[in-house]
């Protein structure tokens, strides 16, 4: 599930790419080159040993200075007054800024979490006023204020911003304090107005609310002969619960395939927006997704399709980010900011890696093995084949009964966290240390993990809990989110400098969430001691990456198309999303599945509410795989603690420190080939 980083999101709104990016705001008149040169010369003459810091710092501050901040003479005077040459004073100022940022960001985070509770938690019906308060960005004006009181300029002047290449090249020689200085140097490299931050927050909230309430009452779905396949009161959130229901039915030999085909049809209706609007989040009507007929008390109803709401939200995000683009130079598109700045891996590199993976001949070999195990040709929804997992052969009803008994409500799961952590190998004291910093809430949507942004605060674990208690799907998600919460706690409380709190990018928190999630049966005491488990887990992970990389390729290519077609209507966007989904499918999935023109890769709700986040999942799986290989003969809790105390280094340097190698495909390819050789003989 998506992890929400308030701190990183806030910083992301005001920072630019990892190059020396002056603002390109038409409202800004930068300090003239002559003034910059004069200011540098005056300071270098006074502090010759600080030439590098002076040069870069003056250039950074000048790029951010507006006429409203003062004249060019004021700028030069500011630099001469506030440049800090003494190393002890510099460290003192660094600690004071860090402390104050933690106070500000931590408190704003607490306020935001509280304001969003009606939208995020299952607290009853929503009112319009809930959406208004939920869309309010309490920290939107913070960054403007920090420019006005000159704190931003003090940071830009004294803490150099290093490019990604410079960090990766020089980082091995840096101390932890120098790394923290470098991260402080990332804080102010572009100046985005508070009004744009606020409007983006409003779009985010609307998108989250739309997705959180996109439930399908599958108990009301009917076949051509009027029969139902699902429990009468079952409702499933798109896409998460729909996908997980497909996964859970591989063990259902009676009518599992019929259920899967029905849900797949629902998904296609969601993607192309032919879904009747009246059946979304409503249990009043019966709906045949194959014929698209809607019935009320046995009478056919006139049913209008959803009016491209899905794609209207994507367009709203795009047009909002266009307004932000003018404040950046090198990173002048949201795509570049999401990858070059956010992931610290270029979009081109990400796409190249994903294409290499989904083009691997191993995909066809694994697909043939799955088809053999199923005893039928592959169908498109088999991208979510779950039969390699131990739980796939277990009775879903039994799993639901067990988790519902253990965790009847959020409080029960919260109380169980120390025990869960001890089952993963943590000693009691450490388990309680982590658990006391995590609270559990019943989610309105699929669930998420929201971390604290200051020491003394708690991380929030949200998962959907039914009236009968937490079913197995909810439990599985909760264990995933618990992994996020453990990372959030370690990388905040146990990291030596606040500016290094967190992880390099969201893929790294996903990695630990995956590591926790795959141990869900172990926690329940149901893990099977089958010597084939390791190979089956490898095949499962390989297939999961194959699926999610295709989804991410669609997401990236949609955004590239948007930038090439900035005036596209919602209808045009929808049509091209369908074409892009088919293109990716035909190139990389049709050779494995034996059928063309499928749109299923466009179903993920992240494309709507979390644009360009999806790449974090396959990277998280790659990182997870390498971490698991590394710690296989080591203590799970000790290594998790060691690795996630590294904090927010660059991805390459973090991986080298964690496991001794960078992110690459060879480990999963080699292990998959070995697994195929072993499992195919069974």
User: pTM score, two decimals?
Assistant: 0.83
Residues 6+ apart with CB under 8 A from 648: 183, 491, 499, 500, 501, 502, 503, 504
Same domain, 81 and 185: yes
- Residue 556 in any domain: the answer is yes
Cβ–Cβ under 8 Å, residues 72 and 36: no
Q: Both 364 and 263 in a single domain?
A: no
Domain assignment of residue 181, given as a range: 3-117+147-191+319-325
Same domain, 369 and 486: no
pLDDT of residue 272: 98
Domain boundary among 524, 546, 576: 524
Within a domain: 100 = yes
Check whether residue 370 and residue 508 sit in a common domain. Answer: no
151 and 24 within one domain: yes
Q: Within a domain: residue 621? A: no
Assigned domain for 231 exists:
yes
| 154, part of any domain | yes
Query: What is the DSSP track for 392-441?
Result: GGS-HHHHHHHHHHH-SSHHHHHHHHHHHHHHTT--HHHHHHHHTTEEEE
Asked whether residue 330 is domain-assigned, the answer is no
- Are the beta carbons of 403 and 524 closer than 8 angstroms? yes
What is the tally of structural domains in the chain?
4
| Residue finishing a domain among 524, 552, 574 | 524
Residue 553 within a domain: yes
pLDDT confidence of residue 393: 64
Same structural domain for residues 420 and 472? yes
pLDDT for residue 18: 39
- Does 297 lie in the same domain as 369? no
Q: How many Cβ atoms from other residues are within 10 Å of residue 217's Cβ?
A: 21
**Per residue, what are the HEC states of 258-279?**
HHHHHHHHHHHHHHHCCCEHHH
Of 458, 492, 524, at which residue does a domain stop? 524
Which parts of the chain register pLDDT below 50? 1-27
Cα–Cα distance, 446 to 462 (Å, whole number) = 8
- Together in a domain, 467 and 379: no
Are 436 and 585 within one domain?
no
Please answer whether residues 240 and 476 qualify as being in contact, where contact means their C-beta atoms are separated by less than 8 angstroms. Answer: no
Nearest to 461 by CA among 424, 417, 431: 417
Answer yes or no: do 518 and 546 share one domain: no
pLDDT confidence of residue 7: 41
Strand locations in 194-291 (E): 215-216, 236-237, 286-288
**231 and 83 both lie in a single domain:** no
Both 294 and 435 in a single domain?
Answer: no
**Cα–Cα distance for residue pair 227/243, rounded to 1 Å:** 22
Whether 129 is in a domain gets the answer no
Label residue 165 exposed, middle or buried (CB < 10 Å: 0-12, 13-18, 19+).
exposed
């Amino acid at each position: 599930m998506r992890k929400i980083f308030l701190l990183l999101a806030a910083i992301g709104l005001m920072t630019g790419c990892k190059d020396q990016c002056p603002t390109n705001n038409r409202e800004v008149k930068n300090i003239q080159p002559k003034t910059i040169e004069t200011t540098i010369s005056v300071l270098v003459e006074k502090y010759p040993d600080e030439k590098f810091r002076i040069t870069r710092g003056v250039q950074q501050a000048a790029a951010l200075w507006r006429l409203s901040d003062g004249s060019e003479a004021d700028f030069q005077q500011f630099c001469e007054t506030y440049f800090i040459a003494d190393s002890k004073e510099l460290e003192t100022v660094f600690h004071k800024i860090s402390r104050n940022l933690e106070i500000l960001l931590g408190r704003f985070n607490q306020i935001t979490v509280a304001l969003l509770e009606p939208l995020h938690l299952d607290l009853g019906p929503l009112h319009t006023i809930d959406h208004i308060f939920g869309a309010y960005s309490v920290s939107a004006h913070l960054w403007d204020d920090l420019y006005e009181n000159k704190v931003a300029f003090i940071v830009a002047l004294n803490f150099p911003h290093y490019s990604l290449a410079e960090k990766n090249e020089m980082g091995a020689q840096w101390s932890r304090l120098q790394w923290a200085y470098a991260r402080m140097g990332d804080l102010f490299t572009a100046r985005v107005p508070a009004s744009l931050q606020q409007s983006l927050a409003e779009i985010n909230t609307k998108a989250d609310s739309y997705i959180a309430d996109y439930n399908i009452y599958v108990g009301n779905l009917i076949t051509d002969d009027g029969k139902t396949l699902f429990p009468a009161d079952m409702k499933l959130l798109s896409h998460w619960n729909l996908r997980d229901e497909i996964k859970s039915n591989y063990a259902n030999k009676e009518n599992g395939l019929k259920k899967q085909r029905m849900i797949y049809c629902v998904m296609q209706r969601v993607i192309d927006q032919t879904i009747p609007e009246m059946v979304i989040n409503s249990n009043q009507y019966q709906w045949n997704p194959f014929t698209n007929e809607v019935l009320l008390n046995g009478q056919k109803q006139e049913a209008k399709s959803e009016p491209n709401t899905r794609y209207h939200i994507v367009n709203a995000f795009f047009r909002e980010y266009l307004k932000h683009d003018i404040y950046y130079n090198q990173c002048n598109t949201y795509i570049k900011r999401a990858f070059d700045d956010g992931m610290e891996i270029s979009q081109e590199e990400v796409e190249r890696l994903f294409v290499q993976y989904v083009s691997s001949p191993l995909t066809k070999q694994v697909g043939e093995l799955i088809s053999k195990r199923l005893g039928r040709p592959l169908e498109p929804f088999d991208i979510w084949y779950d039969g390699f997992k131990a739980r796939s052969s277990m009775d879903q009803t039994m799993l639901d009964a067990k988790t519902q008994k253990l965790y009847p409500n959020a409080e029960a799961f919260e109380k169980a966290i120390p025990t869960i952590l001890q089952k993963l190998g943590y000693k009691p004291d450490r388990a309680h240390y982590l658990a006391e910093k995590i609270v559990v809430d019943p989610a309105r949507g699929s669930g998420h993990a929201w971390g604290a942004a200051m020491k003394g605060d708690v991380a929030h674990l949200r998962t959907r809990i039914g009236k009968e208690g937490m079913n197995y799907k909810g439990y599985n998600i909760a264990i995933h989110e618990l992994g996020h919460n453990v990372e959030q706690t370690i990388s905040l409380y146990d990291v030596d400098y606040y500016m290094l709190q967190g992880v390099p990018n969201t893929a790294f928190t996903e990695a630990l969430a995956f590591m926790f999630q795959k141990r869900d049966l172990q926690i329940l005491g149901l893990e099977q001691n089958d010597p084939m488990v390791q190979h089956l887990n490898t095949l499962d992970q390989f297939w999961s990456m194959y699926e999610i990389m295709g989804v991410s390729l669609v997401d990236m290519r949609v955004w590239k198309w948007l930038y090439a077609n900035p005036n596209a209507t919602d209808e045009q966007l929808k049509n091209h999303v369908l074409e892009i989904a088919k293109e990716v499918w035909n190139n990389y999935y049709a050779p494995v599945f034996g059928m063309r023109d499928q749109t299923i890769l466009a179903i993920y709700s992240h494309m709507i509410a979390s644009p360009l986040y999806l790449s974090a999942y396959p990277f998280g799986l790659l990182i997870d795989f390498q971490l698991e290989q590394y710690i296989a003969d080591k203590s799970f809790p000790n290594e998790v603690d060691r690795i996630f105390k590294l904090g927010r280094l660059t991805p390459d340097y973090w991986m080298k420190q964690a496991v001794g190698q960078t992110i690459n495909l060879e480990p999963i390819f080699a292990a998959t080939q070995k697994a195929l050789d072993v499992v195919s003989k069974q």
